Amino acid sequence: MVNRTRQELTQRQKKVLDAVKDFIRKNGYSPTIRQLAGILGIPSPSAVFKHLSSIEKKGYLRKEKGEIKLAGLPSVVPRVQVPLAGLVPAGDPKEAFDTSDEAVDVPEWMLGRKQGNVFCVQIEGKSMVDAYIDDGDRVLLERTNTASSGEMVVAVLDDGSITLKRLKLENGNVFLIPENPEFKPMQVSELKILGRVIGVLRKY
């Protein structure tokens, strides 16, 4: 049971809690213990588990169905509807960009000032799994026609095909980089950026 009165965290516990908050803010879902261990540079996942248990006892976290939750969040989180644009390949580019008339509910805090300029796509394929974007995930994108090197983007290639990859600009060359060693990077001469990734929605 979580204590009603929160006790002060140690410096180590505060670092773990900050890592959880930062991961949730960037990705829209909670990290696994192994992911936290990697982020924090702690070789033993069991050590991370002990830290999380201590933080939970002090009232800053709670666990629900194996997922880490931040304590103190309102039970009803303000949500907004974001248009679901369709299906986007995260594998080999495809010629068609399937459309949809659907919309998805998204926590308002995930959008911030970008609200009204965000759309959602459903991912097909596994080329971005090492960036925690898997087949079937829904990805939030900010509409833009420009992006910086290193950002993940949905792009239309010069042949009309569409894909989700990480953009890399190097010595005047443009590359689309997968996050899965089973897929090869692509060098492209022309592309049109539709949006850059700002979050991921996932159901377990």
**Residues assigned a catalytic role:** 127, 165
Return the number of other C-beta atoms located less than 10 Å from residue 97's C-beta.
17
Residue 167: HSE in the Cβ half-sphere, 13 Å Cα cutoff = 23
Q: Are 189 and 177 in contact (CB under 8 A)?
A: no
Cα–Cα distance for residue pair 162/86, rounded to 1 Å: 12
Cα–Cα distance for residue pair 161/87, rounded to 1 Å: 12
Cα–Cα distance for residue pair 89/121, rounded to 1 Å: 10
160 phi/psi in degrees, rounded to 5: 90, -5
Each residue of 164-184: b (16+ CB within 10 Å) or e?
bbbbeeeeeebebbbbbeebe
The candidate with the shortest Cα–Cα distance to 87, out of 160, 126, 147, 139, is 139
